[in-house]
Amino acid sequence: MPLVAASGGEEEVDERTRRARKIQPHLARGEPQRVMVVRNLAEGELIQGILLEEGIPSILRRTGGFDVPDMIAAGPRDVMVPASGLETARELLGVEADPAGSAEEEPLSRIAFRIAAVMLIVLLVVGLLTGTIFSLTR
């Protein structure tokens, strides 16, 4: 797609062309890397707009385990940028480097463990109450 109109005149430029003109080629090289996790689609699109204004292309990807069709706009998203623009994006967004890539996944596992523990306790209490009521009615 040419970046300049062939006729040289002022023509209507579509949104894709306008976005493509903002991207800096040296920030668009390499495999996509996660720069941050956002809470929903709207927040992700805001971050994408901020990155694009600085010439960094980005992709929104649903975070693993949250791909539920009923909740199209809800749920966390990974903001992915090319490897060459990763450091610039982190500086721009004020995100610290996470070399392991597990800072966002660790709290989810803790939450899942806590939920499982609470459910187990509730089941034990209900079982004890049921057993007690059953033994009293005999």
DSSP 77-110: EEEEEEGGGHHHHHHHHTPPP-TTS-TTHHHHHH
pLDDT above 70: residue 45: yes
Whole-prediction pTM: 0.55
Cα separation, 55 vs 21, in Å, equals: 9
Q: How confident is the model at residue 8 (pLDDT cuts 50, 70, 90)?
A: low
Cα separation, 66 vs 75, in Å, equals: 6
Class of residue 43 by CB neighbours under 10 A (exposed 0-12, middle 13-18, buried 19+): middle
